[in-house]
Amino acid sequence: MFLQLQTLFPYLVRHRWRYVAGFSTLILKTLLAGTIPFVLRFAVDSLTKSFTSETLWKWALLLLTLALTKGVFQYWMRLLLIGISRDIEYEFRNDVLSHLLCMPRKFFRSYRTGDLMSRVTNDMNAVRLMLGAGVMHTVDVILTFFVVLTVMSATDWKLTCLIFLPTLLVSLVVSYFGRHIHNYSQKVQESFADISALTQESLSNIRIVRAYAREELEITRFTELNRKYVATNWKLIKLWGKFYPLLELLVGVTYLVVLWYGGRRVLSGELTLGSFVMFMTYMMMLTWPMIGFGWVVNVIQRGTASLKRLNELLKQPPSIADPTVNISRSTEIRGDLQLCDVTIRYPNSEQRILRNLNLDITAGESMAIVGPTGGGKSSLVELIPRVIEPSEGVILVDGENIRSIPLRILRGSIGMVPQETLLFSATIRENIVFGCPGASNRSIKDVTEMACLNKDIADFPNGYETLVGERGVTLSGGQKQRIAIARALLRDPRILILDDAFSSVDTVTEEHILRQLKIVMRNRTTLLISHRTSTAQYADRIVVLVAGKIIEDGTHEALLRKQGYYYELHQKQLIEREIESVKS
Amino acid sequence: MIDEDSIEKIYDTHLVARLASYLTPYRVLVVVSVILLIVHSSCAVAGPYLTKLIIDHYLEPVDEIDTPTDTWLPQDASTGIDMIALLYLVVLACGFLARHVQILVMQHTGQQVMRDLRVKIFSHLHKMSITFFDRNKIGRLVTRTTTDVETLNEMFTSGVVAIFGDLLTLAFVLAAMIHLSPDLTMVCCTVIPLVATVSIWFRKRVRESFREVRSAVAKINSFLQEHFNGISVVQLFGHEAESKRKFDTINNEHRAAYYRAIGAHAYFYPIIDWLGVLTVAVILLYGGLQVLDGSLTIGVVVAFIQYGARVFRPIQDLSEKHNILQAAMAGAERIFTLLDTPHDQTISRGSPDASAANRKDKSQEATSFDIEFRNVSFAYTDQHWVLRNISFRIEAGKTIAFVGHTGAGKTTLTNLLLRFYEPQEGQILLGGRDIRNWSVAELRRSFGVALQDPCLLAGTIRQNICFGNTTITEQRLNQLSKDMNLKDLINSLPSGLDEPLLEGGGSLSAGEKQLISFTRALAPNPQFLILDEATSNIDAVTELKISEAFSRMVVGHTAIVIAHRLSTIQRADRIIVMHNGTIQETGTHHDLLSKQGIYWRLYQLQYRDRKSSDLENGKEH
């Protein structure tokens, strides 16, 4: 547990002075709170003797002043101690995110997105609760017990001992039930999730359900799951049903002890009536610490468990990291690429995605990669920005090992349009300038024209400032892809990688974009993955990648003459286009 | 504005009455629960009152103001204290039992009611027309069935009950106080408006800041989801620093929202505590003065000090419970709106007479039904015609293949045949009888359907094949899996037919899923088969298995096939080529090829490459 907590030390140290101030106010508040029943004792005692209205005023005002001072400290205690926990949560969450942003894709594939999200939010919250309310109440509870027990045992230690037993029992009950209730709540949630899943499944397959007149059966299945849910819930309810009344009973018993034993002590003259009332007031004051103690134990347990899950993320180093030695001197990349004997294996498997691949691309060349799905095309281009690393072999950029080039420089010279278009819920402009925040309006306009976006943007309600995604406009697949293309072009890349970047763009627009690209990318390197030969023929050179090997390599014409895979593909697509034209 | 709306909803008597109607079957339990609640609340009064008795009778005896109720108390002080303590123990035990049983009874009732309601919503959804599902997002409907009902549950079990309990406690405590000293009670009550004001102010502040918190949490979640999914784009475009900055802003917003909540809490607790002490001070002062002139006993003063705290709690709670009620009423309204949406008319329209009539027909000549489309036109939405004046006839026992581009209207034909939708014009006849005169269940039962998406549900393979039909014997299943080339798959699975599948078929290949879906269609041995072939790529071995299975299954059935495979098309008795909602060509494979029309072009494009291999495979078998 201590080892897990180490992660938090830097944050705790950073806020040490506020902690000192917070705990000081906490101590003062608790001490003052302890005096109130004590004062009440004298006030009640004075009622039993001869007294004047002045005495009453005196006690009443003293009580109010004490309570007011206590309140001021209590205010600062909360503001400081709970405030710190929110600050640490904020800082810690920022740090965890920074760490995650540097993790390789492999890492994100090994965790489900929902799981990662839950760690950054729910687990973080549990840690925060431990640091804030958890720490505050722990100290408060211990201190209150200490103060109250001291005053009480100084007055009547026998009665104090007798009260202590049920008090301890309350804490145990809270801790025990708290843990079990937490466990069962999770089971109930799982059962509830089953109901949701079935509803989802049943409703999204509604046609087949209808076709088979299966409605009754679906309802039976649903009823059955509901029965299970109610059964699971019933266990939780039984726990709650015992927990609350038991708590009331035990708190009542402490009160009973004071009433009975305290009463007899007053009768025998060992206790004044004022002290008797004081004991009762202290019992009221102890109700929360009794419950709080058990609660705090669970909060700390849960917080530590959550911290452990967060530590697990923080422990993992970014596997694709910048070189520590041999940093390449050049800051500009020309665009020569060389793949030497490159092999990529599936993780934990002998199966290979690329097999001893050799490829030479000179700066300024444009190369198309075609081939069937699963042939390794995407993996091949992902090697260049080091999204993935080869299992064997070396990649050279401008003759230098890719690993000796700082990632910032390497990726800074690459513009990539990935196969899956990912835009962010921001404005169109923000999405386009994603890779170069300082871009001028002029260059933004240029790339939107190159990506044939200008017409679309003019049609949007707010032009460049139109929001995309959930809260904004819904874009067509082609529009999304063209924004992704503009985004890549704006970086003015030395190496442009288009991974099936035109799959949702119609052929006329595609040809238009490709023609312009040819001019812009004249002296730069372009890698172009495509399923269409009509796209591929725009490249200077075409390679055919089948099962991780290059089987054909040459210009469009040369490959057609070869009458191999590329030729077949081309023929088939010719007919397809012909039919298209017949249709329309 | 939203709040005002929901406040009105709480007082919407129709809504409340309708909700209450769900409790009617459980009224005995509800009454029991209420009685227990009264018992429990009355127990809260005992402690301070017994304290008063002890003080006034034994500790600081005052004889003059003995009330008749107290005459039963023993004269001996120590016996008296023992007795009162015992009495208190009994009261505590009663309170414990009442509360325990009350929680169980109320929660039990709540669970039953919610279960009834969920099943009712779910059953209702299954009676809605297909068009309803085209219009409503599945996610929303799932929320109605689950989350909204759960909010109601919370209202039933903690909201209403807690409010009732709070009010009862308040009433009992006030009654006890008035009994002891009416004017001291009046003095105490002056503090109540202060407590109520502070509580209401606090709830409002907390609610506001939590609204901000919720919005900040939503932003954090969508940021995380977007960036975790798009991590490679972030990294490729060197956007890490910018992303961090953005996250920092959202994160800060989240913190600021909570800071406001912390502020509210930091004010609230000290103020409430201080008001508590104020009450004590007032009681001490006012009560003390009355003790001085002998009109009040010390015991009453002490009892009041203790009662004071018990009045506070319910008032604070009441302001909190208001929110639960609001949320639940909004949920209830959404649920009732859904339940009020009328059922699919087609299901209820099929008259029992009609189904009885056609059962008679069926027994006479079971497989001799022709399918006929007469001038059928159909549009999903107004004027966007998907089918235009379609007419054709399928003779009993024949296999017809429909081919054409996506969107040509092939799937729509089957949707109409199964009465998922009604055509705007024309008639569909089955055995010469308009399908609108069939009972929907009967009609659908006579079709075996395999959709393009195999629609495998979570469950075992057996369950997915039988699909709720209990008449399918083990022997038939065996025969089916042999005929349908499923044996290899079943043997390769550890639990065979009883191997559990994930939703959507998880681990199985596309081909295997289709085989299961075909088997499902064939299992009850229906008169008609509707097979919508999957377009996904399937490896050669499985492809062969499917085409074998297909040729076995169409024997003895009238089959409509939406075909994508050459082998299926070649086995059809007749091919109907659809284009833009009309029938373009009809005929056998050879007829159509010699025509050199659309079919010929399609054939060139899609099937030519496969032709040689298909034929070779055909020869081998």
Determine the Cα angle at A382 with ends A380 and A388, to 5°: 105
Here the tokens at position B2 are 């939203």
Check residue B612 and give its pLDDT: 38
Picking from B62, B125, B184, B236 by the largest number of A CB atoms within 10 A of its own CB, the best residue to mutate is B236
Check residue B91 and give its pLDDT: 92
The long-range contacts involving B115-119, CB below 8 angstroms and separated by at least 24 positions, are B115/A223, B115/A226, B115/A227, B115/A229, B115/A230, B116/B22, B116/B25, B117/B22, B117/B149, B117/B152, B117/B335, B118/A195, B118/A222, B118/A226, B118/B145, B118/B146, B118/B149, B119/A219, B119/A222, B119/A223, B119/A226
Contact criterion met (CB < 8 Å) for B289 and A53: yes
Do the beta carbons of residue A47 and residue B220 sit within 8 Å?
Answer: no
C-alpha to C-alpha distance for B281 and B270, rounded to whole angstroms = 16
Does B90 contact A at CB distance below 8 Å? no
* A324, pLDDT greater than 60: no
Helix and strand element counts for chain B (H, E): 26, 12
* B6, pLDDT greater than 50: no
Do the beta carbons of residue B196 and residue B315 sit within 8 Å?
Answer: yes
- Tokens 């800074």 belong to A412
CATH 3.90.1150.10 fits A418-492, yes or no: no
Contact criterion met (CB < 8 Å) for A117 and B225: yes
B429 bridge partner residues: B372, B434
CA nearest to A578 within chain B: B601
* B217, pLDDT greater than 70: yes
> Among candidates A370, A476, A492, A482, which has minimal Cα distance to A440?
A492
Question: pLDDT of A409-428, one tens digit each?
Answer: 888 889 999 888 888 888 89
B364 falls in which pLDDT band (50, 70, 90)?
very low
Question: pLDDT of A518-569, one tens digit each?
Answer: 888 888 899 999 888 888 888 899 999 988 889 999 999 999 998 888 988 8
Tell me the C-alpha to C-alpha distance, in Å, between residue B578 and each of A255, B583, B602: 86, 5, 11
Task: Map residue A437 onto helix, strand or coil.
Answer: coil
Identical fold, A331-413+495-504+525-584 and A418-492? yes
* B536, pLDDT greater than 50: yes
Tell me the C-alpha to C-alpha distance, in Å, between residue B120 and each of A207, A233, B145, B196, B343: 20, 20, 9, 40, 13
Name the phi and psi angles at B47, rounded to 5. -50, -60
A328 falls in which pLDDT band (50, 70, 90)?
low
Residue B485 to chain A, least CA–CA distance (Å): 23
Cβ atoms < 10 Å from Cβ of B4: 8
Contact criterion met (CB < 8 Å) for A203 and B141: yes
**Averaged pLDDT for residues B271-279:** 90
Of residues B287 and B160, more confidence is placed in: B287
Does B502 contact A at CB distance below 8 Å? no
> Among candidates A37, A283, A256, which has minimal Cα distance to A145?
A283
Contact criterion met (CB < 8 Å) for A491 and B237: yes
Check residue B432 and give its pLDDT: 83
C-alpha to C-alpha distance for B267 and A385, rounded to whole angstroms = 55
Does A59 contact B at CB distance below 8 Å? yes
Looking at domain A2-315, its CATH architecture is Up-down Bundle (1.20)
Cβ atoms < 10 Å from Cβ of A371: 25
Do the beta carbons of residue A377 and residue A369 sit within 8 Å?
Answer: yes
CA nearest to A51 within chain B: B292
A554 bridge partner residues: A542
Question: pLDDT of B46-89, one tens digit each?
Answer: 888 888 888 888 887 776 555 555 667 777 888 888 888 999 99
CA nearest to B46 within chain A: A252
CB pairs under 8 A between A and B: 341
Check residue A508 and give its pLDDT: 80
Question: pLDDT of B464-476, one tens digit each?
Answer: 888 877 788 888 8
List of residues 6+ apart from B401 with CB closer than 8 A = B561, B562, B563, B568, B569, B572, B574, B575, B576
Question: pLDDT of B474-520, one tens digit each?
Answer: 888 888 888 888 888 888 888 888 888 776 666 677 778 888 888 88
Does A385 contact B at CB distance below 8 Å? yes
C-alpha to C-alpha distance for B152 and B147, rounded to whole angstroms = 9
Do β-strands B447-450 and A549-554 pair in parallel, antiparallel, or remain unpaired? unpaired
Contact criterion met (CB < 8 Å) for B309 and A284: yes
Check residue A29 and give its pLDDT: 94
**Averaged pLDDT for residues B279-303:** 87
Here the tokens at position B37 are 């609640």
**Averaged pLDDT for residues A439-452:** 90
C-alpha to C-alpha distance for A194 and A185, rounded to whole angstroms = 14
* A377, pLDDT greater than 90: no
CATH 1.10.3720.10 fits A331-413+495-504+525-584, yes or no: no
* B531, pLDDT greater than 80: yes
Domain boundaries, chain A: 2-315, 331-413+495-504+525-584, 418-492
Check residue A71 and give its pLDDT: 93
Chain A residues whose beta carbon lies within 8 Å of the beta carbon of residue B273: 67, 70-71, 74
Q: What is the pTM of this model?
A: 0.74
Question: pLDDT of A99-140, one tens digit each?
Answer: 988 888 778 877 877 788 888 888 898 899 999 888 898 899
B406 falls in which pLDDT band (50, 70, 90)?
low
**Averaged pLDDT for residues B130-159:** 80
* Chain mean pLDDT for chain A: 86
Annotate A238-288 with DSSP letters as a single string.
HHHHHHHHHHHHHHHHHHHHIIIIIHHHHHTTSS-HHHHHHHHHHHHHHHH
Contact criterion met (CB < 8 Å) for A103 and B602: no
> Among candidates B516, B519, B510, which has minimal Cα distance to B553?
B519
What sign does the CA torsion over B217, B220, B226, B231 have? negative
Check residue A179 and give its pLDDT: 85
Does A582 contact B at CB distance below 8 Å? yes
* A373, pLDDT greater than 80: no
Check residue B43 and give its pLDDT: 86
Query: Looking at this predicted complex, what is its ipTM?
Result: 0.82
**Averaged pLDDT for residues A210-226:** 84
* B3, pLDDT greater than 80: no
Do β-strands B582-587 and A400-401 pair in parallel, antiparallel, or remain unpaired? unpaired
DSSP H/E element including B428: strand B425-430
Q: How many CA atoms within 13 Å lie on the side-chain side of B565?
A: 28
* B345, pLDDT greater than 70: no
CA nearest to B218 within chain A: A121
B5 falls in which pLDDT band (50, 70, 90)?
very low
